[in-house]
Structure 1
Amino acid sequence: MVFLKSLTYSALSLLIALNAIQAKPTTKARALVKRSSKLHGKFLHITDIHFDPHYKAGSDPDSYCHKHSSKRGEKAGTFGALGSDCDTPAALLDATFSFLKNEIDDIDFIIYTGDSVRHNRDDEMKKSDDEIVDIHKSVLKYFQSAYDTKKVPFIPTIGNNDGFNHNDFVKKDSIYGKLASVWSGLNLNLDTNFKVGGYFAQELIKNKLSVINLNSMYFFHKNDEVDDCDSSSSPGAIQLRWFERMLKQYSKKKGHSVYVMGHIPPADDEGEKLYKDACYSKYINLLGKYGNTIVGHFTGHTNNDNLLAVVPEGKSSSSYTVVRADGDDLDDDFLKKASVGLFSAPSIIPANNPAFRVYNYDTSGKQFNVGTILDWDQYYVDLEKANDKGKVQFEIEYSASDLYHTDHFNGDGVGEAFMSLCDDDDARDLYSEFVDVKGAHS
């Protein structure tokens, strides 16, 4: 029996905007997936690990799971404290990567959308710069314990907790050089753009599929160290000019598709903007403008399971619309204009039940563009059950094709998916019930 889950995202954001920009790309034509490799048409998406090496099982969650307490009350479980402010214990990561190694072995590559490092919430146990770098190294070792990253490429990005200053990333930030060193063995295109700005472009499948890996921290509204993108000299504006030039370059290559990845999505599951105003408008416009080239947009950060879409609505105007799951004000003609699906995966950190995704994507380019998402299985663990039984058991929470009644998730398919959701009471109930990765129903 395949399990279903309502895609946790209480609203589908359908977006558009304006203005185009130009820049100079610097990228190397070096594909990560080797020509001799047999494609499985699957890849893994993990996000928001937030590894805490100081986590103590049986401790008080009010101490961020760092200290034991004589007070009566809930104690931190071996595999995590669900819904608390505690981060992720080593025991959960050990179990997760053991499952990946033994059960998820038929993938072509891995995308990891950031936030390796624990939060800096505990005033009595502040993170040092050395600890931050050590956690990045530890997380990479976890992935390498499950996969040979020379054969199964690993593409990471930077999260808002991954630098030396929470949320605040600047041009030539010192973390970029440290990460370039940590990731040096991954054969990534960590050129000047990465060392100066924290972003890079990388060919995945030669002449067929590339990934543009963005530093969303320059767009994030909580980054107080950089200006909005209406300032041409801001790091966000500079990145956007580079981003457009890369999209323009790839759009001229016949049969070549692009994945866009970053940590923070443009909007959250409630439809609230997470980017600075000008960055948001220009960013969304670029996604809409190059919707024929972009076949997937992948983020994390929210800890929820979100599906959104970009919908162009004219050349000289912009609007922002939040569409609820009840289908009010939706019509087929509107959704048929959807250009790009935005996929934001749930996290490993037990803010909700830990989860990850395995996507199926098109490799032939016959019916859809190469890279088009055809389906995904979302795996999760019932954390309370795991803590009670002393064992982590991942299972499929839902398959997207079953929930949405579609076999493709390009712009058209995402529009169809949400019309199906709005028309199907049972699917909508699942969608609404499991907004926070609450589990599977048979």
Structure 2
Amino acid sequence: MSQVVCFFLLLCAAAPGSAAPTGSSYLSGTGRFWHITDLHLDPSYHLAQDPTKVCFSSKGAPATHAGLYGDFLCDSPYSLIQSAFANMAPLTHQEDFIIWTGDSPPHVPPDELSTDLVIQVISNMTQTITQHFPNLTVFPALGNHDYWPQDQMPDSTNDIYKAAAVLWKRWLEPEALTTLSQGGFYSQLVKPGLRLLSLNTILYYGPDEVTINMTDPAGQFEWLEKTLEKSAQNKEKVYVIAHVPVGYLPYAGNTTAIRKSHNERLVAIFRKYSHVVAGQFYGHTHRDSIMVLLDEQGSPVNSLFVSPAVTPIKSFWEQYSNNPGFRMYLYSNKDYSVMDIWQYYLNLTEANEKQRSDWRLEYIMTEAFGLSDLQPKSLLELGLSFMLPQSKAFDKYFSHFMVNYNSSIVCDGSCKVRQECVCGELSLNLHADRMMNIQDGNSVDSRSFNENKLCCFLTKCLFYRFHVTVRFLSITD
């Protein structure tokens, strides 16, 4: 693998570009930014007679549909990443900025990589982004694969944190580079009134054995609260970006994306400063999803967005994957609230057949779901509508979740409940608190229709979590 990577990195800059889709111009009083995530470059990808030898990231599974732009059993060939950026670049404006939420190296066993190779891949992706977007500021976040061995992110300075600070100094200011090199996180003013916080949520990631017994690894919780408090005093709004999201995983029932204790603390901080945080943006899951942060009373206070990946990879046994995607956010220049999403995607099967990358607009979120904006209240109402039997809104949402991977795949039963619960439940503690408030407070008749739906939603999710936990314990015992 190391020889393949080194040889490949010499060739990357010569890859060809491709045509771009049409995009949206600025609207009065708005700004825009772009989100790319989970590039997962696999330098070993090549078209081979033996489908088990196409890419190291398939781990021996036969990539029988491999083409110019990749295969669903492989991580991204460079041609796919180059194609995404080449199609995105003409849509950008000089006032835009980009958030890049991590994971550049491929999904391969640890012995196929090293610290030096991980740094080389991050460097290559940094150079590629710079070539396509020379005039835009990029705000990166580190992913769990942006370290070696993967997931084992330490709570102190190391070669990869320091390398990232060197590679990203073209975009970040000295103060941001200092905390990046020390703990993998930073804060920077985007423009007057808007600050961006890039968190290192890998410090809270379950597989990270280095930080498993730490209550505040790298002092990031303390730093986060101080930074948000200062932003509140300065009347700034804040965008939070990170790789691994808060809340529950949409495909793993009773599992939070980060450790539950750290999840609860992050959620508590975000609730406390929900008047400061104008949006949260994540990657990691490779799928397209929304979440809503509720306060202790069950009122929606924050909108969270998980962007789909550029890599199309899935395991051999997974039922579905995602088509490659990138997106643009539209925000209000008045309060920096997120107003809309333009989601772009590549039909990978079609692109390989035609040997041409025709990136398309998959959806505009407000138009797709009949929303006026993407405020927490609007997103919660959308999430509650998914509870309806045979909900067409949910069917559309799940199709977008897979980035139009396969329209014949149906998500019902426990699959649907998982998706519903992820949208509006970031903390299991909210269920118990909300149920107690309902029992001690108003009657059902005096509550609003949406309050009753929320009560039903929380009850169903609480029952589902309990059922899954009990079932898991009975199997393991």
TM class, shorter-length: 0.7 to 0.9
Once residues 226 and 122 of structure 1 are traced to their aligned partners in structure 2, the CA distance between those partners, rounded to angstroms, is 19
**Counting helix residues as a fraction of each chain, which structure ranks higher?**
2
Say whether residues 1:214 and 2:214 are aligned partners. Answer: no
What is the match of residue 303 of structure 2? 341
What is the match of residue 160 of structure 1? 144
1:89 is aligned with what amino acid? P
Mind listing any 5+ residue stretches in structure 1 that lack a counterpart? Answer: 1-37, 315-333
Once residues 252 and 165 of structure 1 are traced to their aligned partners in structure 2, the CA distance between those partners, rounded to angstroms, is 40
What is the match of residue 71 of structure 2? 81
2:44 is aligned with what amino acid? H
Q: Secondary structure at the match of 2:291?
A: strand
Q: Deviations over 1:362-412 (max 9, x none)?
A: 01x2xxx2x211000110000000000001111111111023322322322
Residues 243, 278 of structure 1: alpha-carbon distance in 2 compared, 3 angstrom cutoff: same
Once residues 52 and 81 of structure 1 are traced to their aligned partners in structure 2, the CA distance between those partners, rounded to angstroms, is 11
Residues 311, 384 of structure 1: alpha-carbon distance in 2 compared, 3 angstrom cutoff: same
Q: Provide the aligned length of Structure 1 versus Structure 2.
A: 364
Once residues 120 and 173 of structure 1 are traced to their aligned partners in structure 2, the CA distance between those partners, rounded to angstroms, is 22
Aligned counterpart for 1:108 among listed residues 96, 101, 116: 96
Once residues 67 and 428 of structure 1 are traced to their aligned partners in structure 2, the CA distance between those partners, rounded to angstroms, is 32
2:263 is aligned with what amino acid? Y
Residues 431, 128 of structure 1: alpha-carbon distance in 2 compared, 3 angstrom cutoff: same
What is the match of residue 25 of structure 1? none
Aligned counterpart for 2:372 among listed residues 377, 401, 407: 407
Residues 289, 439 of structure 1: alpha-carbon distance in 2 compared, 3 angstrom cutoff: same
Q: Secondary structure at the match of 2:188?
A: strand
What is the match of residue 356 of structure 1? 326
2:147 is aligned with what amino acid? G
Q: Secondary structure at the match of 2:296?
A: coil
Aligned counterpart for 2:163 among listed residues 166, 178, 182: 178
Residues 430, 204 of structure 1: alpha-carbon distance in 2 compared, 3 angstrom cutoff: same
Residue 117 of structure 1, CA deviation: 1.4
Once residues 205 and 62 of structure 2 are traced to their aligned partners in structure 1, the CA distance between those partners, rounded to angstroms, is 40
Aligned counterpart for 2:357 among listed residues 387, 392, 399: 392
Residues 247, 55 of structure 1: alpha-carbon distance in 2 compared, 3 angstrom cutoff: same
Aligned counterpart for 1:240 among listed residues 218, 221, 242: 221
What is the match of residue 146 of structure 1? 132
Once residues 418 and 224 of structure 1 are traced to their aligned partners in structure 2, the CA distance between those partners, rounded to angstroms, is 35
Residue 67 of structure 1, CA deviation: 11
Q: Secondary structure at the match of 1:346?
A: coil
Q: Secondary structure at the match of 2:351?
A: helix
1:217 is aligned with what amino acid? I
Identity over the aligned pairs, expressed in percent?
26
Aligned counterpart for 1:313 among listed residues 296, 301, 306: 296
TM-score (norm 2): 0.71
Once residues 380 and 204 of structure 1 are traced to their aligned partners in structure 2, the CA distance between those partners, rounded to angstroms, is 27
What is the match of residue 288 of structure 1? 271
- Asked whether the equivalents of residues 30 and 332 of structure 2 are also in contact (C-alpha less than 8 Å), the reply is no
Once residues 49 and 308 of structure 2 are traced to their aligned partners in structure 1, the CA distance between those partners, rounded to angstroms, is 25
1:249 is aligned with what amino acid? K
What is the match of residue 127 of structure 1? 113
Write out aligned runs for 1:9-158 (5 A): 41-58=31-48, 60=50, 62-63=52-53, 65-66=55-56, 74-82=64-72, 84=73, 86-105=74-93, 108-121=96-109, 126-148=112-134, 151-158=135-142
1:136 is aligned with what amino acid? I
- Asked whether the equivalents of residues 59 and 67 of structure 1 are also in contact (C-alpha less than 8 Å), the reply is no
2:402 is aligned with what amino acid? D
TM-score (norm 1): 0.77
Once residues 394 and 107 of structure 1 are traced to their aligned partners in structure 2, the CA distance between those partners, rounded to angstroms, is 23
Q: Secondary structure at the match of 2:145?
A: coil
Which portions of structure 1, spanning 4 or more consecutive aligned residues, are displaced by more than 4 angstroms? Answer: 420-424
Structure with larger RCO (C-alpha < 8 A, sep 6+): 1
Residue 118 of structure 1, CA deviation: 1.6
Residues 210, 440 of structure 1: alpha-carbon distance in 2 compared, 3 angstrom cutoff: farther
Residues 152, 390 of structure 1: alpha-carbon distance in 2 compared, 3 angstrom cutoff: same
Mind listing any 5+ residue stretches in structure 2 that lack a counterpart? Answer: 1-27, 314-321, 408-477
What is the match of residue 188 of structure 2? 202
Aligned counterpart for 1:169 among listed residues 136, 153, 156: 153
Q: Deviations over 1:333-390 (max 9, x none)?
A: x4xx111111110000012210011010001x2xxx2x21100011000000000000
- Asked whether the equivalents of residues 406 and 416 of structure 1 are also in contact (C-alpha less than 8 Å), the reply is no
Once residues 260 and 405 of structure 2 are traced to their aligned partners in structure 1, the CA distance between those partners, rounded to angstroms, is 35
- Asked whether the equivalents of residues 405 and 420 of structure 1 are also in contact (C-alpha less than 8 Å), the reply is no
Once residues 108 and 140 of structure 1 are traced to their aligned partners in structure 2, the CA distance between those partners, rounded to angstroms, is 18
Residues 156, 435 of structure 1: alpha-carbon distance in 2 compared, 3 angstrom cutoff: same
Aligned counterpart for 2:237 among listed residues 229, 241, 257: 257
1:436 is aligned with what amino acid? M
What is the match of residue 225 of structure 1? 210
Residues 182, 39 of structure 1: alpha-carbon distance in 2 compared, 3 angstrom cutoff: farther
Residue 41 of structure 1, CA deviation: 0.9
Residue 228 of structure 1, CA deviation: 4.3
- Asked whether the equivalents of residues 59 and 65 of structure 1 are also in contact (C-alpha less than 8 Å), the reply is no
Residue 61 of structure 1, CA deviation: 5.0
Q: Which has the larger radius of gyration?
A: 2
- Asked whether the equivalents of residues 57 and 108 of structure 2 are also in contact (C-alpha less than 8 Å), the reply is no
- Asked whether the equivalents of residues 59 and 66 of structure 1 are also in contact (C-alpha less than 8 Å), the reply is no
Once residues 60 and 296 of structure 1 are traced to their aligned partners in structure 2, the CA distance between those partners, rounded to angstroms, is 46
Q: Deviations over 1:40-98 (max 9, x none)?
A: 61110000001122211246553462599xx997152110112x1x2110111221111
Once residues 326 and 242 of structure 2 are traced to their aligned partners in structure 1, the CA distance between those partners, rounded to angstroms, is 16
